[in-house]
Structure 1
Amino acid sequence: MENQVRRPGVIPGPQGRPILAVSPPLSLYVHVPWCVRKCPYCDFNSHEKSGDLPEEQYLAALEADLEQALPLVWDRPVVSIFIGGGTPSLLSASAIDRMMTLFRSYLNLVPGSEITMEANPGTVEAERFSAYAGSGINRISLGIQSFDDRALVALGRIHDGRQAMEAIEIAQRAVSRVNLDIMYALPGQTVEACERDLRKAMSFDTGHLSLYHLTLEPNTVFAKYPPQVPDDDTSAAMQELITDATQAGGWERYEVSAYAKPGEYCAHNVNYWEFGDYLGIGPGAHGKLSFRDKIVRQARLKNPASWMEKAVKRDGSHIAEDREVQWKELGFEFMLNALRLKHGVPRSSFTERTGQSLYAIAPAMERAIERGLLDADPIQLKATDLGWRFLNDLLSEFLD
C-alpha cells in the first residue's frame, strides 16, 4: 500500500487494519448458575434453585456448548479453568468429575494448569471437597464475605461465622491453594468490625485474599432498598487498614482487590487483566477470543432453561451475543484491564494483544502522565499510586 507506515510490532492488514501476529494465552470460564438463595447485593447471573439441580441436562448442554466452540479454539493450549457461579459447590462430586473429564477430552489443557472452583459455606461437605480435588480441582475460592453473624444476615448469606471457619478448614485439607472472598464497608460496619473480619481471615494463612468494597449494583435488591453503609471517609479508613495489615502479614496487593502470598497470584484472573483470551461456556458466560484479523466477544443466553434447551440443538441459538470489538474500542478495553494490576504490563503487550501501535493511545497517555495518573516508565504501562487510587479518573482518559 502506497506510503504505508510500518510501525514496530504491527503487521498491516487489509485496508490498513493491523492484525495479530500471535494468539494470547487462553483460559476457560464455566458458569454454574444456581444458588440456594439470591443475595441482595448480587448482580451476577445466579438463580435460586427449586428442588434438585438438573445436573444431567446441564452437563449435556455444557458438552454441546463446548463442542460448538471448539472450531474457534482448536488445539490452542488452555492455561487455566475457572468454574464460577452461582454456587458450583451445589453440584455433586460425580458431576464435577464428569465435567473435568469432558474438558480433558476436548481441550489441550496445559499440565499443572490452575483449576479453580467457587464454593460457598453452607454448601461445603468434607467428603465432596476431597472428591472435587480428586477430579482435578486444585484451587478453591470460598465466598466467606464476613465472619460476623449480624453482617451475614444483612448480606442475605445462608451461612454463619462458624460454618465459614469450618468451610475454610475443609478446603485447606482438600487442596493446597485457597482464596477467601471478604467484603468490607458492609451495612452498619465499623472500622473495628472490619479489622476483626480481616484478622480472622488472615489467621487461616491462605495464599490469596480477595477483599472487595461492597457496591450497590443496579438491578439488585440493595439498589432498590439501599442499606445504611459506611461513609466515604470510613470506607477509606477500612481500605488503608486492609492495605497496611495485609502487607505486614506477607500478602502483596497485586491487583485492585486481590492480595497474594509469593507465587499465589490467581493465574486465571491475571490472564483477564493482561488482556488474554477466555472461552466462556454455560448460561450467561462471557468470552473474548482473538483471531488473526479481529477480536470477538461472545455471551451465552442468561436463562439456564433457555440455554440448556438451545445449546443441545447445536445451531448456535444458545449464543446471545457474538460481535467483533471495534478497533477504536481496543485501547480502552486493554487499559481497563491492564491498569488494575499494581505493576501494570509491558508496553510491548499492548501491540501484541490489540494489534495496534502505542501511537493509537499516545495522546491519552500523555494527558494521564501530565495529570500524574500514569507512570512515565518507558518499559511498563502502569498507574502511579495516585492513578491507582483514582483509577476511574485515569481510565476516563482512554475513553475518547
Structure 2
Amino acid sequence: MAEPTALLLPDTGEPGFGVYIHWPFCAAKCPYCDFNSHVRHQGIDQPRFTAAFLTEMEEMRALSGPKTVTSIFLGGGTPSLMDPATVGAILDGIARFWTVPRGIEITMEANPTSVEAERFRGYRAAGVNRVSLGVQALNDRDLKFLGRLHSVEDALKAVKLAREIFPRMSFDLIYARPDQTVKDWEAELNQAISHAADHLSLYQLTIEEGTPFYGLHKAGKIITPDEDRAAELYEATQAITAAQGLPAYEVSNHARPGAESRHNLTYWRYGDYAGIGPGAHGRLTTGQGKLATATERHPETWLDEVEKNRHGMVDQELLDRDEQADELLLMGLRLREGVDLARWQDLSGRDPDPERERFLLEHGFIERLGNSRLRCTPKGMLVLDAVVADLAS
C-alpha cells in the first residue's frame, strides 16, 4: 500500500466514499473523553484483531458494493499504538475489497509521546500520508489537568517529526479550559500556528456525561468559561486563524486552502462511509436505500461477534428521506461552504420554510450563496444547533 512519492489528489467537492477504522485502545483514559476507548494493561492480540477487521471489512463490502475510496481514516482510541505491520495489513485489506486510487488521503490519529513518534516512519511506509496529533494544550499544567501522558516538549518533537515524514499533518487543541483568559488563548494559538503545517482542529472543552470531568463539574470542582467568555474565545480563534492563513472551513477545523481533511469533508458533505471496528458507525447507500450501521462498542465482545458472525454490527437502520435530509442539514451547516439546497430539497421534498428562513436571514444567522447553497454566518455558528433545529422543523 506504500506510495512514497504519490501526491495527494485534489478535493473534487464531491461527498466521496470513506473507510473508517476504529482502534479502541488507549494507554490511559483521558478524564474529558467520552469516545469509545479502553485501556488494556495485559496487551492486545493485534493479529487476532487484524483478522477481525478484515472479516468485518468484507461484510461491509458486501453491503456497499463496489466503490472507489476517496479517503481512509484510522481513528480511536489511539491508532498509533498499533504496530506498523498491523496498519499495513489493514490498508492492504481495504485495497483488496474496494478500489483505492494512488494519492488518496490516508489519515492516522496519533498521540505525541516519544515512543509512538518513533513509529512514524513505519506508518508512512505502510501508506499513511497524513497524521493528526492529539496535542490538546501547549502548557504542561493544562496537559496534566487534561490527563495527557505527554509534555509540551514531547508534543513539539512529535509535530516536528510528523512534518518531516508525512506530506500532511494536523494537530488538535482544546480551549475554553478552566481559568483560561482570551489573552492566554491568543498567545497559545499563535504559538500553535507557528508549528502547524496546514491544518488545526480547535475544540472547546465540553463536559460530557459519564466522564470523570462530569462529576467534578457538577460538584463545582471544575469551572469552565461561561457562555460570554466561550463566545469571546471562539471569536478570537476565528480572527487569529483567518489572519494567519488557516481560516475555518468547519466549526472547529481550520486549514490552508486545499489542505482540508478530505475524510471529514465526506462526513460533513453527507457522503457514504464504511465504519469498521468496535463502536464504529457508518452510512452506506444500498439497493434498499441509505443504511445507518453501528457496531458493538466493547472490543472483546465485538471480536467474539465478528469471529462468530463475520461482523460486529448491532444496528442496521434504513433511513427514510426525511431522516437523510435532517442529517444532511445537521452536517452540512457545520461547513463554511454550506448545504447544497437542491440535494436537501430532493431528499426532503420541500423548500425551506420561508418564514423561518426569513427570520434567520434577517437576524444574520444564515445567508444564501446564490440560489444553490445555504450556510451559517459566523454569528450563526455560535448557535448552530438552534439554527439547524429551526430549519429542520
* TM-score for the superposition, normalised by structure 2: 0.90
Match of 1:257 among 252, 263, 266: 252
Distance of 1:171 and 1:206 partners within structure 2: 9
Unaligned runs of 5+ in 2: 1-13
Distance of 2:362 and 2:64 partners within structure 1: 41
Task: Indicate if the aligned counterparts of 1:151 and 1:187 stay in contact, CA closer than 8 A.
Answer: no
Displacement of 1:119: 0.2
SS of the counterpart of 2:101? strand
Distance of 2:240 and 2:377 partners within structure 1: 21
1:273 aligned partner: 268
State yes or no: 1:297 paired with 2:292: yes
Match of 2:238 among 243, 254, 268: 243
2:177 aligned partner: 186
1:386 aligned partner: 379
SS of the counterpart of 2:70? strand
State yes or no: 1:323 paired with 2:317: yes
Distance of 2:295 and 2:104 partners within structure 1: 25
Task: Indicate if the aligned counterparts of 1:89 and 1:123 stay in contact, CA closer than 8 A.
Answer: no
Equivalence map 1:38-117=2 (5 Å): 38-117=29-108
Displacement of 1:262: 1.6
Displacement of 1:302: 0.1
Shifted more, 24-33 versus 340-349: the winner is 340-349
Task: Indicate if the aligned counterparts of 1:32 and 1:283 stay in contact, CA closer than 8 A.
Answer: yes
**Structure 2 letter corresponding to 1:152:** L
Distance of 2:360 and 2:287 partners within structure 1: 31
**Structure 2 letter corresponding to 1:392:** D
Displacement of 1:345: 3.2
* TM-score for the superposition, normalised by structure 1: 0.88
Equivalence map 1:6-45=2 (5 Å): 25-45=16-36
Distance of 1:90 and 1:123 partners within structure 2: 12
Compute the RMSD of aligned alpha carbons.
2.0
SS of the counterpart of 1:206? coil
1:4 aligned partner: none
SS of the counterpart of 2:102? strand
**Structure 2 letter corresponding to 1:332:** D
SS of the counterpart of 2:203? strand
Task: Indicate if the aligned counterparts of 1:154 and 1:187 stay in contact, CA closer than 8 A.
Answer: no
The one-character-per-residue Cα deviations of 1:120-150 (angstroms, maximum 9, x if unpaired) are 1126544410110111100000000001111
1:10 aligned partner: none
Equivalence map 1:209-248=2 (5 Å): 209-226=200-217, 227-248=222-243
Displacement of 1:188: 2.5
- How many residue pairs were aligned? 375
Task: Indicate if the aligned counterparts of 2:290 and 2:319 stay in contact, CA closer than 8 A.
Answer: yes
**Structure 1 letter corresponding to 2:94:** F
Q: CA 1:63 to 1:129, structure 2 compared with 1: closer, same or farther past 3 Å?
A: same
Equivalence map 1:306-345=2 (5 Å): 306-316=301-311, 318-345=312-339
1:17 aligned partner: none
Shifted more, 110-119 versus 231-240: the winner is 231-240
Distance of 2:42 and 2:159 partners within structure 1: 27
Q: CA 1:280 to 1:390, structure 2 compared with 1: closer, same or farther past 3 Å?
A: same
Shifted more, 78-87 versus 107-116: the winner is 107-116
Task: Indicate if the aligned counterparts of 1:180 and 1:206 stay in contact, CA closer than 8 A.
Answer: no
Larger RCO, structure (CA 8 Å, separation 6 or more): 1
Distance of 1:233 and 1:355 partners within structure 2: 37
Q: CA 1:364 to 1:26, structure 2 compared with 1: closer, same or farther past 3 Å?
A: farther
Shifted more, 79-88 versus 108-117: the winner is 108-117
Task: Indicate if the aligned counterparts of 1:331 and 1:360 stay in contact, CA closer than 8 A.
Answer: no
Match of 2:148 among 141, 157, 167: 157
Distance of 1:386 and 1:147 partners within structure 2: 28
Displacement of 1:399: 4.3
Distance of 2:238 and 2:55 partners within structure 1: 44
Q: CA 1:320 to 1:162, structure 2 compared with 1: closer, same or farther past 3 Å?
A: same
Identity over the aligned pairs, expressed in percent? 36
Q: CA 1:206 to 1:315, structure 2 compared with 1: closer, same or farther past 3 Å?
A: closer
Distance of 1:166 and 1:374 partners within structure 2: 41
1:359 aligned partner: 351
Unaligned runs of 5+ in 1: 1-22
Task: Indicate if the aligned counterparts of 2:26 and 2:39 stay in contact, CA closer than 8 A.
Answer: yes
The one-character-per-residue Cα deviations of 1:218-262 (angstroms, maximum 9, x if unpaired) are 111111111122223322222222111111111111110010012
**Structure 2 letter corresponding to 1:239:** Y
**Structure 1 letter corresponding to 2:300:** A
Q: CA 1:276 to 1:361, structure 2 compared with 1: closer, same or farther past 3 Å?
A: farther
1:11 aligned partner: none
